[in-house]
Amino acid sequence: MQPPACSPRLAVVGILLLASVAGCRTLPESGVNTFATSTSTLQLAISSAGNAAVQDLATLHTDTPASKAAAQALSEDLKQQWDKRLRVMAAMNTYAASLQRLVDAGKAGQQNAAAFTGALRELVTATQMLDPAAPAIDLALNLSSRVYGEIAADIAAGRIARALAQADPIVAGTSAIIASDLLNLRSIALEKRRTALSSLQTAQILGEFRSLNHLRDAAATAAFSSDTPTPAALDQLQKIQQMIITLSNDPAYLQYLASRDQINQLFKSQTDLLDQASLTVAAWARSHHELLLGIEQKKAPSLQQLSTFASDLYDIYKKYREARSTP
């Protein structure tokens, strides 16, 4: 007995169904590559800059035992602040790498499903360490606990678009916290800068500067209070000015200037980097949503903003690294 012929209409429906399944299984390859590469750049810049900042702060203005102890304490505290952020950056990179594994439709399966949901869990857990009380964290935790199993099942079955759609609000919520936290870390860095500057052992020499400047101003007022300054008044003004010049060349004062400039440059590099990192994380979340749209619309998004922001971030780090290596 011959099998019944398939009607043209039924054949068209079958083709459309197959195309729909394939579309659900396929991530836009170029978009995911850009997403993963930019995330890796973000992690590298933040990790490298954080480690360098901790090292630099530990060696600043360590000419006396007291200043060395103060620098070490600041360095240890800064390291604790950075470590939590470095874990978040690593989690973001792991999540992006898990997407990369799903680019090939043939790689759907239980193993990649477990890797994807594991990366998503770690992203939430690492973000929770930044601000456990954040409302977005409660939402992400509650949402993720409900959907982890569904996401894993969808990925194992090749329903990538559905899995990514359920992960997207989790990524958006955690990214908002991370971006905000990086700006909070910027405020912490500025506070560390004030502490580092105040710990410089320069109270005496700066006091001498203030006294001499006050004397110079008083001598100048006295000398030029009349149309014809007296030689004695001008001589007194010149002597005070010479004392200021001499003090300006004092080794202790020159060391203070060098340490002050180093501290200011160190923390300026940090704040510039954190500002850019916050922008990059926000673009990361938007790009994740664009990947989802790319699956639904069957076209690869450019993710140009994320790529540009990540590149700019790394440029800031490179300038900081070059400044550190300049004597």
Structural domain count of the chain: 1
In this prediction, the residues of the chain whose per-residue pLDDT falls under 50 are: 1-25, 105
Backbone angles phi, psi at 320, to 5 degrees: -65, -45
pLDDT of 311: 94
Q: How many residues in total does the chain contain?
A: 327
pLDDT of 172: 92
Note whether residue 24 is domain-resident. no
Residue type, 243: M
Note whether residue 10 is domain-resident. no
Q: What is the pLDDT of residues 259-303, one digit of tens each?
A: 788 788 878 888 888 899 999 999 999 999 999 998 888 888 889
What is the distance between the terminal CA atoms of the chain, rounded to a whole angstrom? Answer: 89
Note whether residue 258 is domain-resident. no
Domain of 114 in residue numbering reads as: 29-200+265-325
How many other C-beta atoms can be found within 10 angstroms of the C-beta atom of residue 257? 11
pLDDT of 64: 66
Q: 111-116 — which CB contacts under 8 Å span 24+ positions?
A: 112/155, 113/151, 113/152, 113/153, 113/154, 113/155, 113/156, 114/152, 116/151, 116/152, 116/155, 116/163, 116/167
How many other C-beta atoms can be found within 10 angstroms of the C-beta atom of residue 173? 23
Note whether residue 237 is domain-resident. no
Asked if residues 24 and 164 have their Cβ atoms less than 8 Å apart, the reply is no
Note whether residue 81 is domain-resident. yes
**Gap between the Cα atoms of 300 and 172, Å rounded:** 20
**Gap between the Cα atoms of 295 and 274, Å rounded:** 32
Closest CA to 267 of 327, 178, 186, 201: 186
For the chain, counts of helices (H) and of strands (E): 10, 0
How many other C-beta atoms can be found within 10 angstroms of the C-beta atom of residue 67? 18
CA dihedral (46, 51, 55, 57) positive or negative = positive
Note whether residue 247 is domain-resident. no
Note whether residue 210 is domain-resident. no
Note whether residue 21 is domain-resident. no
